[in-house]
Amino acid sequence: MVYAVCFDYAMNVSEGRAPEHPRGLGRGPGIRGKRVVVTGGGRGLGEQIVRLLVAEGALVATCARTAGDLAALAASLDPKARERLYTQALDVTEPEQLENFVAAAEKRFNGLDGAVACAGGSRGGGLERSDPADWAATWAVNVGHTARLIRAAVPHLRAAGGGSVVVIASISGWKPGPGAQYGAAKSAQIHLAASLARELGPDGIRVNTVSPGSMLIPGRRWDRMRTEQPEAFAAFVSAELPGGRPVAPQEVAHVVAFLLSDWSSGISGAHLPVDRAQNAPAPDGY
């Protein structure tokens, strides 16, 4: 579908006609009815991406290891929205589980238009406080799962005439910071997405990376610091966050929705930091 829109647009431009706007312009972010898989939707950023997409009328399949988080997410939606959500409890670093999940989502929705690699994280500390297993685990959950997700989704996106893939990296993959295994894995995701954008471009499949800054997620590090150590939090904001506060996961989700939509049909291979000008990870971690 995206491919067809892009092609019509390009033909109009090359033949000197005024380009027609893609579907959805002026009627929401253009993701209504799109069929999307999102990994790591049980909490944090992934949960906010799922909530936004479902609220905007997309059909969304998501996964996480904790079945209770997925059940709570589904239970919190109104019944109509819940019908557009499909969940599976699984580990994205287990190849067969991830591939079966993508196949099940495609079957459930009768096709796929997009994929978001959001599950991620870090294991181990600094160089001398992390071992090879920490490096391997950090690589697997960030880079390995992303490559496998895209590989599993590509035949379905191609069958739909094209699609959009969004990879969640981090400003830690863009600028150096502590936890080199995490930064190296996030950096690899940015490179992977740009390379696949070129490889999959002929199929009408766009691939972009979104790099959040330090997100304010309820109950997580920066939120705890905000409530438990307000002076330290104020100093952190003053020193590291020119935007005056950490970025909210909802703000990152807006950008992901834009990249999944036809509004962004001209963007592929891009890396978009969404960090309210933070620009680099904090000296003691993202």
Ligand X SMILES: NC(=O)c1ccc[n+]([C@@H]2O[C@H](COP(=O)([O-])OP(=O)(O)OC[C@H]3O[C@@H](n4cnc5c(N)ncnc54)[C@H](OP(=O)(O)O)[C@@H]3O)[C@@H](O)[C@H]2O)c1
Q: Which positions are annotated as active-site residues?
A: 182
Nearer to ligand X, 265 or 278 (CB): 278
Nearer to ligand X, 19 or 283 (CB): 283
Site track for ligand X across 185-214, x = CB under 6 A: ---------------------------x-x
Binding ligand X (rule: CB under 6 A), the pick from 121, 242, 243, 266 is 121
Distance CA 237, CA 217 (A): 15
> Cα 91 to chain center, whole Å?
17
Site track for ligand X across 27-46, x = CB under 6 A: -------------x-xxxxx
Nearer to ligand X, 66 or 76 (CB): 66
Q: How far is the CB of 138 from ligand X (least distance, A)?
A: 10
Applying the rule CB under 6 A, the residues between 50 and 79 that interact with ligand X are 63-66, 69
Q: Does 179 bind ligand X (CB under 6 A)?
A: no
Q: Does 118 bind ligand X (CB under 6 A)?
A: yes
Distance CA 98, CA 196 (A): 19
Structure tokens at 242: 């020119």
**Helical segments of the chain, H only:** 2-14, 44-55, 67-76, 79-82, 95-109, 132-139, 145-159, 180-200, 221-228, 230-240, 249-260
Distance CA 127, CA 135 (A): 10
* Binding span for ligand X by CB under 6 A among 16-24, 90-98, 99-107, 198-206: 90-98
**Looking at residue 129, what DSSP letter applies?**
G
**Looking at residue 276, what DSSP letter applies?**
T
Partners of 86 in the β-ladder? 61
Q: CA separation (Å) from 144 to 102, 128, 136, 186, 231? A: 15, 24, 10, 11, 39
Binding ligand X (rule: CB under 6 A), the pick from 6, 73, 149, 168 is 168
Say if CB 256 and CB 116 are below 8 A apart. yes
Closest residue by Cα to residue 86 from 68, 66, 65, 102: 102
Binding ligand X (rule: CB under 6 A), the pick from 61, 87, 93, 123 is 93
Q: How far is the CB of 153 from ligand X (least distance, A)?
A: 16
Q: How far is the CB of 91 from ligand X (least distance, A)?
A: 4
**Looking at residue 224, what DSSP letter applies?**
H
How many chain residues touch ligand X (CB under 6 A)?
26
Nearer to ligand X, 119 or 205 (CB): 119
Q: How far is the CB of 23 from ligand X (least distance, A)?
A: 29
Say if CB 190 and CB 271 are below 8 A apart. yes
Structure tokens at 281: 């990870």
Q: How far is the CB of 35 from ligand X (least distance, A)?
A: 20
Neighbours of 107 (CB within 10 A): 11
Nearer to ligand X, 30 or 179 (CB): 179
Binding ligand X (rule: CB under 6 A), the pick from 73, 92, 150, 207 is 92
Rule CB under 6 A: which residues touch ligand X? 40, 42-46, 63-66, 69, 91-93, 118-121, 141, 168, 170, 212, 214-215, 217, 286
